[in-house]
Amino acid sequence: MLGMTKKYNFTVKLKLHSIKNVKMNWKKLIVTGFGAGYLPIGPGSWGTFPGMFLCWLMQVLSSVFYLGFILLLGWVTVPLVTEIEKQLGKKDHGAIVIDEIIAFPLTMFLIPLSLGTLLLGFFLNRLMDTLKPWPCKRFEELQGGWGVMLDDLMAAIYSCIGMHFALHFWPHLSTFYSIAAPFS
């Protein structure tokens, strides 16, 4: 037995939304939320977490620049989403989560950040994205990246209204473990 080594072969199978040989380029990296969209369970929910980070970074912006930045990001990413959607071969593929990333800051528009508001925002955002109230479903039918982006942005508007409604009745949510703005 001296000098002999035993070889072990381990195989790990990870289901990545039925995608074989995932190759990343900068466009796919952005559109999949730095790979969050490839996580096996609930990619849209995983994609919301980078949106929370983006939301935190955007706290330092005035409300006009905050909203303008969201709209600019949405407009700039539409062609990227369209291209990656074609590469993946499926309309609104689960791995595409840039729409969730951009939609979450819209859900939190003019909402003070705290643990309570982030949790409620996450819940409302995912609920509205899943239920797709009118006209979200119609927006989803649009071609290419427009359909992917606009249905989530519309769902985020509903979520934002829900957040403002909740804060009107439960203002203490905004003080439950407040989260300071970066660079302040």
The confidence score (pLDDT) of residue 5 equals 52
Q: In the chain, where are the structural domains located? A: 26-175
The confidence score (pLDDT) of residue 9 equals 45
Stretches where the chain sits below pLDDT 50 are: 1, 8-21
CA-wise closest residue to 124 among 167, 92, 60: 167
Give the dihedral of Cα atoms 26, 32, 36, 42; nearest 10 deg: -170
Which residues are registered as beta bridge partners of 114? 178
Using the Cα atoms of residue 131, residue 137, residue 141 and residue 143 in order, give the sign of their dihedral: negative
**Pairwise CA distance, residues 122 & 138, whole Å:** 23
CA-wise closest residue to 17 among 41, 1, 33, 45: 41
* pTM given for the model: 0.83
The confidence score (pLDDT) of residue 166 equals 96
The confidence score (pLDDT) of residue 20 equals 47
**Pairwise CA distance, residues 139 & 20, whole Å:** 30
Q: At what angle do helices 98-107 and 63-88 cross, to 10 degrees?
A: 160
Tens of pLDDT along 38-52? 998 889 899 999 999
The confidence score (pLDDT) of residue 180 equals 79
Question: According to DSSP H, which parts of 4-143 are helical?
Answer: 26-31, 43-57, 63-88, 98-107, 115-131, 136-140
